[in-house]
Chain A
Amino acid sequence: MSLLFYILAALSVLTGLGVVLARNPINSVLSLIACFLTIAGHYVLLNAQFLAVVHVIVYTGAIMVLFLFVIMLMDMNRANEPHKKWTTKLAATLSGCLLLLVLLASTAKVMLGGPAPVLSPDMGLIKNLGMVLYRDYLYPFETSAILFLSAMVGAMVLGKHEPKKI
């Protein structure tokens, strides 16, 4: 198992780097898709098959299509790309590194305690998930319908083609 994990982890990191380093945004998205697929592999290794399937269907499938559309929506001319000042870049790098440092330091402290106890290896199976979702977490499930609805209406308000200026 661990060999497979290392292969997948290496692929995740490589494709993740590809997302950040690619010049062409389309290449970034394609790398991100590959990265998501490897993460789905991690889920399978953790015995969370449902999560893996959903990850492939929803994230790799639907959300990445949305990403591509958004990128294609934009006017990607090199010429009108705003040029950032080096001070801005420096500040961004510094604050990013600081955040990383803080997060790493706090997680490293936890890591020293050894691996977290596994509650149950079958936790991620669809059946258990369904039982939890439809019995214990019924309330968030139903309220999320309103969240989806408002997202849909919001997209229509903002995205609908207006025939004439108001």
Chain B
Amino acid sequence: MAALISIAVFGIALLYIELTNSKKIQLPLAVVGLLVTLGLTVMQWNHPSSSFNNMAVTDNYSVAFNASILLSTMFVVLLSAYYYEDVKQHVAEIMALMLFTVFGAFLITSFSNMIMLFLGIETLSIPLYVLAGSKKFSLRSNEASFKYFLMGAFASAILLLGITLVYGASATFQLSAISDYVNNTKQLPGIFYMGIILILVGFSFKVAAAPFHFWTPDVYEGSPTLITAFMATVVKIAGFAAFYRLFSSAFSSIATFWEPLLWGMIILTLLISNFAALLQKGVKRLLAYSSISHAGFLLLGIIALNKLSAGGIFYYTLAYSLATIPAFGVLILVKNHRNSDDSIDAFNGLAKKNPLLAIVMSVALLSMAGIPITAGFFAKYYIFVAAIDSGYILLTIFAVLAAVLGVFYYFRLLNAMFLKEGEAEKIKIPVVFGISLLITTILTLAMGVFPDYIIKLL
């Protein structure tokens, strides 16, 4: 609770800092706000509590996901110092909107009531629609914002309709009560099933899983790169935390109904995203498709629905965030240097002149591909183990094949950086930027070498 209030207060404080127009305070205040909130969040570890008529529950599950959301936001905010260096206006507003997004994310990691789920998703999404369009004079950014808003509004409506139908059948919003209802009713009414399908559709839109992924490449490409990094990490962490919380508590007893649907979605997501990623020329679009494929792997953790799932999903989202942020960070630098050219060719010969950037990018890409000693390897490993444990052997084999396919397009980028010749010059790396890139890289490697510390948390 204290963490929630703290993030809101710092968000509002940032707004008023914007009025003074002094950039020197904005960034430190945002970082302090995130740190204070992180402290308050971690303090709740092993102190499960519920407040407001059981509407908000704080347990280790929500604390872990909240901490990982805060960590990702922190890195994004640190990168923003360089990214918004030349921008005069709206910087503090953008950070405030990020904090409000985090506020929404907190609501859905710790919800135990469907109303809070909807409210949280809206609080998460609405600032993001604005952030996607925050590059006001770029047509692409406007388009991304508009597209995201229209699609997101529809998805929210579908999710809400699903929640309503479930309420109509069970007459309750409380997750535990819905679960009781499912267990105690012999013949569930049709609207209940319809509700589950619609909720599934709404969620798969928000986490960008096929067949509801089509907005992702355009929105990720059009949004300002830093915002894309924010979207790709925070929304995915929070979305999957809520997704798993809902389906593992309220709907776990009728898993036989929704698991086949999810099964099909996983196959589709992995197929579409990996083949589409092979064809991409732009790095931003490639990362967008890779983000979709990660959603596919994460869905495996949900379909597994056993005691390994929560830890697996947590580890995966954290590893994915720690790889995504430096990847986009390096992309920002290269893109700025190459006059907004974000094609793979822009990375040609990066390793010669900028070994540090090339190493950071390689570790991030290897982690995304799931190569050992990076966090990504164990992320996929734990998810696969969870899935096999629940008997999804065929699906896991398919996912492994998809992961192998994924290695191809990550290696296209590595190939460009290390083997191809390019007229690369030395890129100057700002201090804060470089440090945060290094920290994420070190964390990725550390998580890959000592995975036990993270996986044992949940």
Which A residues lie at the B interface, using CB under 8 A? 102-103, 106-107, 109-110, 113, 116, 136-140, 143-144, 146-147, 149-151, 153-154, 156-158, 162, 165-166
Contacts and interface: CB of A to CB of B under 8 A. Distances in A.
A98 B116 CA distance: 31
B434 interface: no
Given A140-B113, A154-B127, 16 more contacts: A106-B194, A110-B191, A113-B189, A139-B51, A139-B56, A139-B116, A140-B55, A140-B115, A147-B104, A147-B122, A150-B100, A153-B93, A153-B127, A153-B130, A154-B129, A166-B88
Contacts of A147: 104, 119, 122-123, 126
Contacts of A107: 190-191, 194
Contacts of A109: 189-191
Contacts of B119: 140, 143-144, 147
Interface residues of B, number: 44
Contacts of A156: 93
Most chain B CB atoms below 10 A, which of A113, A150, A151, A162: A150
A106 B190 contact: yes
25 contacts: A102-B194, A106-B191, A109-B190, A109-B191, A110-B191, A137-B55, A139-B51, A140-B113, A140-B116, A143-B103, A143-B107, A146-B100, A146-B123, A147-B104, A147-B123, A147-B126, A150-B100, A150-B126, A150-B130, A154-B97, A157-B90, A157-B130, A157-B134, A158-B130, A166-B136
Contacts of A151: 126
B interface, by DSSP: helix, strand, loop or mixed? Answer: helix
Contacts of A157: 90, 93-94, 97, 130, 134
B53 interface: yes
Interface in B121-135: 122-123, 126-127, 129-130, 133-134
Interface string B49-87: 001110110000000000000000000000000000001
Contacts of A137: 55, 115
A162 B51 contact: no
Contacts of B193: 106
B123 A154 contact: no
A15 B285 CA distance: 44
